[in-house]
Structure 1
């Protein structure tokens, strides 16, 4: 019995060693220096043709290839939240790992300086916008966000959501035509203050409910860039068919990760994520720039009426508001630098 037991034990030990070796090889080949991680990347747009989707799919492609399989990316297009506030909350709680948000929603976390990038008529071209976000100011803003959020949020890229214009139940021929119009836009902060000065009535309606609100006269008008509102067919509603090119915002969107979670990844995984972020920035911007013209033409072909408008009165009204907002944010130097880069 002793011999049988000894032989059985020896065989069992040999099998255990072999299995342990196989397991070690398998773990090494699949995870490299760090364990394999799954990243949930999300944006709030539901259209598969949206530039956000193009950008996050590029992020997925590069992160997975650069990490040699140590990173798996799951992309969600509006499926875990169609409101940016939901996505910010999920990022903080760990239910999402990469999200797209606007400066306005970041101010709700107590980082007031980021709202500087959302001031009306701050930028006058994509070239100006790119110089700002891709240079020292973009780096300074990213540092501010990381420090003031206690590393909850880390900016890894700046995306655009296009140039925003008015669209509504009537065309704008002058700034006075906005007086008394209910206008779906931000209802608090600098943007709301600006549109109140113009004479409009800022109104809060969820993005997913806006088509119906325009169709049923709940709101007179709204504002966004061509790829976004045309993909949602807002231009086909009675209160969305007249588009006046106010060009009031060259929009900034933050590609965010949770800083604490990012720090927990291996060095190789971190490098892969940063490379993926850089690639996603270029892919998203290229898609957006191409779609600006494409969706403008589509809107007109489908019955929308587009007109240009003298922007000078809008810009003149915005300038003192910009100065006051920058002072309130303690970001006067940043505003000065941005204006000097025009």
Structure 2
């Protein structure tokens, strides 16, 4: 039999994935079971083309009786709704930023701390080389959800109508930051005055002067046409924009062969993402420069920013959150 879940009617409780497997226990290699994979990105962003699509293709090519149905563009709800659906088993696999996942286990949000990682490779190494094992186990215990892998979907950069090269340049600017706790902590650590504005309302808020600037990955800046209402993109690379691939208890119910297929597909997507993001960003920046649509500021004093944020986090984080931050830094020594 083929089980396919839909969230079209929230009153309907999805059947547990184990029912799709003959006799339970995940022996679904002969019954053509379908996994749902959800995310909030558009179908032309790297998270979809080099992430979700690669996972789907890898799982299906493995020939272990699994297919993957992708729901992009927040079709199955926003971040908070989707992680709740992963916990309940209504979504099998989801792609979310660490700061959003902090709603169910606060310490995981530290993965999105400003300057926690030197670059995308450092984030990859943290999750793939054992350094994040305690975090994964704690997350599973707290949320009942497995972390299968992680990648950086690009570094976050500042935009404003004046260049931002040092921490002092943020003084007096009303900078839009997402409203999640970790992003607001980042604003404090960076020395910015944070203003919360919904992502969908950001263009208008910048155009009308409600905020002076904002921070986002290059692909997001392009997707929302922010260079039309900002004069400078300052390449601060102050945060690796994390995506964690998380799975419901459906993953635990798979056979060993099926789990291996999912793991290998996720690992393949993780390995492809850096080049995919780099190519997308290079194409965007080249377009901006050739069109003269915005000025790129390359000489940001990232050392000054990193020194300031590191001191702030070590002084202000505590408990498990501080332990996660220290494990991230230790993994890069």
* Corresponding position: 1:251 with 2:241: yes
What is the CA–CA distance in structure 1 between the aligned matches of 2:156 and 2:225, rounded to whole Å?
Answer: 16
Instruction: Give yes or no for the alignment of 1:321 onto 2:308.
Output: no
The alignment status of 1:61 with 2:57, answered yes or no, reads: yes
SS at match of 2:318: helix
Aligned to 2:113: 119
Q: Are the aligned partners of 1:88 and 1:99 in contact in 2 as well (CA < 8 Å)?
A: yes
Task: Indicate the residue corresponding to 1:21 in structure 2.
Answer: none
> Is contact 1:158-1:253 (8 Å) kept?
yes
TM-score, with length taken from structure 1: 0.80
Partner residue of 1:46 out of 29, 39, 42: 42
Q: How does 1:185-200 map to 2 (within 5 A)?
A: 185-187=177-179, 189-196=181-188, 198-200=190-192
Shift of 1:47: 4.6
Q: Which whole-Å deviations, capped at 9, do the CAs of 1:17-68 have from their partners, x for residues lacking one?
A: xxxxxxxxxx9xxx96453221221221125143433211111111111134
Rg: which structure is higher?
A: 1
Structure-2 change in CA distance of 1:106 and 1:324 (3 Å)? farther
User: Which residue does 2:31 correspond to in 1?
Assistant: 35
| Deviation per residue, 1:249-289 (Å, 9 max, x gap) | 1232210110x221223333222222221122122233113
TM-score, normalised on structure 2?
0.82
Deviation at 1:330, TM superposition (A): 5.3
The question of whether the paired residues in 2 share the 8 Å contact of 1:45 and 1:82 is answered with: no
State the distance in 2 between where 1:65 and 1:135 align.
26
Poorly superposed stretches of 4+, deviation over 6 Å: none
Distance 1:336 1:274, change over 3 A: closer
Contact 1:132 1:338 (8 Å CA) reproduced? no
User: Displacement, 1:300?
Assistant: 2.4
Is the alpha carbon distance of 1:277 and 1:108 closer, same or farther for their aligned partners in structure 2, counting shifts above 3 Å? Answer: same
What's the counterpart of residue 261 of structure 1? Answer: 250
Give the equivalent residue in structure 1 for 2:142.
148
Aligned to 2:71: 76
TM-superposed deviation, 1:334: 5.8
Q: Which one of the candidate residues 105, 110, 116 is aligned to 2:100? A: 105
Residue of structure 1 in register with 2:204 after alignment:
212
Once the two structures are superposed, what CA deviation does each residue of 1:87-129 show, in whole Å capped at 9, x if it has no partner? 21232233322111112112211x2321222221122233433
Unpaired segments ≥5 residues, structure 2: 1-21
Name the structure with the higher helix share.
1
Name the CA shift for 1:234/1:38 in 2 (closer, same or farther; >3 Å): same
State the distance in 1 between where 2:331 and 2:31 align: 47
Root-mean-square deviation over aligned CA pairs: 2.6
1:136 corresponds, among 130, 139, 159, to: 130
8 Å contact kept, 1:58–1:279: yes
Is the counterpart of residue 305 in structure 1 residue 305 in structure 2? no
**CA–CA distance in structure 2, aligned partners of residues 47 and 340 of structure 1:** 33
| Pair 1:295 & 2:287 matched | no
The DSSP-based 3-state class of the residue aligned with 1:249 is strand
